[in-house]
Structure 1
Amino acid sequence: MAGPKDLDPSSSPRALLGAELRHARERKGLSQAELGQLVFVSGSFIGQLEAGTRRMQPEVARMLDEVLAAGGFFTRHCGVGATSKYPAFFVDVAELEAEATAIRQYTPLLVPGLLQTPAYAWAVNRAYDPTTPAETIKEWTQGRMDRTRLLDHPTKPLLWMVLDEAALRRAAGGRGVMAEALRHIADLSRRNRAIVQVLPLSAGAHAGMAGALKLMEFEDAPPLAYLEAVRSGRLEDDPATVTQLRFVFDLLVASALSQEKSLALIEALAEDYTHEQNP
């Protein structure tokens, strides 16, 4: 469970809701787990709402108003600041990334968003929807680049990426785009801003074959896992499930190349792409 966290209610809508939720719950003499049972969510989820790390959805707000006799407070305020440049299924994840103290991620098919270059992001967004106007693709790409600003801090959050070799060999956007993208990843690794490991094709069957996985840890809230599929995604907050998914990531790390060998492979592939573009 997330421990009590004194939030400044004026700092953000989520901080306001979190502080009010905690006070209302304590006035009723309920634990986070007890309140969660009454509104059909986990106690961890209630803790994350109180800590300001999760967005309150309208249906949850309605039930909280009823259970806590809040007079419609949560319903009135849960939509404040709800507009976002990200798809609905990814809004919470983008906000959580910015607050995480550690992000561990495995991607089987593409370079993860936090490591992408603008040209690579453009190519991926264009592939997602070939008929979308260029201006919209530009907005999507800028949104993805905005997420990468969290890497401007020299040490936080801890970023640990396991990239499938298949993602590095798929020439998204062409060879020049891939050469730039891989050099960017190598630079982050050499600057010790990200731990990067490559899961080689030679590893054969592995624990992450079912899909992409992201794990996020926070200072004042329980860890979360995010599972993504085509145009959809799901946040997992059940402690047992998150623990199992952390074990999956640990197995992937064990199957991956060392940081040194991974860096050597990434730079070698970047050179190959450059040579093939300019023979």
Structure 2
Amino acid sequence: MAFEFRRSGHGRLLEATATVANTAVHVVGLFPLRHRETSTFAFLRCPQQVGATFSDVEATPCLQSPVVREDVPVFTPKELDATKDPWAYFGAVVRRYRGNQSQVDVADAVHVSKQYVSHIEHAVRRPERKLVKALDRALDADGAVLAAFEMAVNASSHGSPEVADYFAAVVELEARATRIDWYSQSFFPGIVQTKEYATAITRAFSPFRSPEEVESLVAGRMARAEILASEDRPQLMVILDESVLVRPVGTPDVWARQLGYVLELINANKLVLQILPLSAGAHALLSAELIILRFPDAPPLAYVEGPHTGQVLDGKALVDACTLSYDLARAAALSPEASQARIEAAMREICP
């Protein structure tokens, strides 16, 4: 069992977390512990001792039995080789300059969660440059953390698909995810798009881009779709608003091929798709494009997107709220079988 403590500037205990079998538990009862530097003491969070100092704890008995609340997942990092993975190297540089500071202290200094700092250090998340600059200042790294970040960006950009900056983190996370829950109210998700459909979508979004730029963006999207061809592909669950089916994209041939490709993925057991019918009326995801990503070695994350912007959410409360909204939308959707029949009906309208 491992313990982590948060103290105020006056040495008062604010919070303790124990790690048992890779699960974080908040300590709310009496536990005999040994301080790593001084003498044995007992820490607890019961009515008698909330806010006690380390010296107060041994002198004040607790009337409660030890109780723990097992509701906070702990990130268990996988082994990384910093000599081969540029983002593992960047994480190692952050850890080195963090030194004896706790992840909580660093997270507070740059206004992110402790989990986010842990994900950076273990190459799960790629931070934005603005945050890296703040990290460099908070760690007194004199530019070393920023330099490691730039190196990682340059090293990993060769041969990588071109995507919008705000979506780059999701591309990396897609490849690590074991399950992806996706809700779209506007178009088929990128990883199930045909090249022709993706081209039509990209031209509609960016009418002033050159043909070469459009081709590059589409190539990036096609590269992302390759994860569905791998043996260890993620479980892909999609809720699609029915409005997508009544707004054809591209020529009739492009639209027909897109619908046919989605049906192929469904029949190959690479995709579970449910249509959220217009007749459902108001629902929990009326105003959002939402992706929830789940991992074998880290807590789930959510991604929400609007026009020309997007944000990865890692706070447990926010991810839980997004998951609930997704579940509510799925409850209002057609069954996978009825959804497939709806797509087949759309196909027949194009190709009677």
- TM-score > 0.5 by shorter chain: yes
Q: What residue in structure 2 maps to residue 248 of structure 1?
A: 325
| Contact 1:179/1:271 (8 A) holds in 2 | no
- How far apart, in 1, do the equivalents of 2:179 and 2:89 lie? 25
Residue 9 of structure 1 aligns to which amino acid in structure 2? A
Q: What residue in structure 1 maps to residue 310 of structure 2?
A: 233
| Contact 2:77/2:298 (8 A) holds in 1 | no
Instruction: Tell me the SS of whatever aligns to 2:351.
Output: helix
- How far apart, in 1, do the equivalents of 2:151 and 2:163 lie? 16
Unaligned runs of 5+ in 2: 1-73
Shift in alpha-carbon separation, 1:81–1:19, aligned structure 2, 3 A: closer
Instruction: Tell me the SS of whatever aligns to 1:233.
Output: strand
Pair 1:121-2:192 in alignment: no
Q: What residue in structure 2 maps to residue 3 of structure 1?
A: 76
Instruction: After TM superposition, list the pairs within 5 Å mapping 1:208-223 onto structure 2.
Output: 208-223=285-300
Residue 321 of structure 2 aligns to which amino acid in structure 1? Q
Unaligned runs of 5+ in 1: none
Q: Which of 43, 50, 53 lines up with 2:121 in the alignment?
A: 50
Q: Which of 156, 164, 177 lines up with 1:87 in the alignment?
A: 164
How does the TM-score come out when normalised to structure 2?
0.73
Q: What residue in structure 1 maps to residue 12 of structure 2?
A: none
Pair 1:137-2:214 in alignment: yes
| Contact 1:44/1:222 (8 A) holds in 2 | no
- How far apart, in 1, do the equivalents of 2:301 and 2:185 lie? 20
What's the offset of the Cα at 1:66?
4.0
| Contact 1:24/1:68 (8 A) holds in 2 | yes
Q: What residue in structure 2 maps to residue 262 of structure 1?
A: 339
What's the offset of the Cα at 1:61?
2.9
- Larger RCO (CA within 8 A; separation ≥ 6): 1
| Contact 1:5/1:220 (8 A) holds in 2 | yes
What's the offset of the Cα at 1:23?
4.8
- How far apart, in 1, do the equivalents of 2:300 and 2:84 lie? 23
User: Which structure shows the bigger proportion of residues in strand conformation?
Assistant: 2
- How far apart, in 2, do the equivalents of 1:65 and 1:123 lie? 42
Write out per-residue CA displacement over residues 210-236 of structure 1, whole angstroms, 9 at most, x where no aligned residue: 121111112222221111111111111
Pair 1:28-2:100 in alignment: yes
- How far apart, in 2, do the equivalents of 1:273 and 1:154 lie? 33
How does the TM-score come out when normalised to structure 1?
0.91
Q: What residue in structure 1 maps to residue 133 of structure 2?
A: 62
What's the offset of the Cα at 1:200?
1.0
User: Which structure shows the bigger proportion of residues in helix conformation?
Assistant: 1
Write out per-residue CA displacement over residues 10-55 of structure 1, whole angstroms, 9 at most, x where no aligned residue: 2322111223334544x4151x333211222111111211221211
- How far apart, in 2, do the equivalents of 1:4 and 1:95 lie? 16
What's the offset of the Cα at 1:97?
1.1
Q: Could you say which structure has the larger radius of gyration?
A: 2
Residue 264 of structure 2 aligns to which amino acid in structure 1? D
Q: What residue in structure 1 maps to residue 108 of structure 2?
A: 37
| Contact 2:93/2:148 (8 A) holds in 1 | no
Q: Which of 9, 12, 19 lines up with 2:85 in the alignment?
A: 12
- How far apart, in 2, do the equivalents of 1:39 and 1:132 lie? 36
Instruction: Tell me the SS of whatever aligns to 1:120.
Output: helix
Matched length: 273
Q: Which of 126, 133, 147 lines up with 1:76 in the alignment?
A: 147
More displaced 10-residue stretch of structure 1: 249-258 or 148-157: 148-157
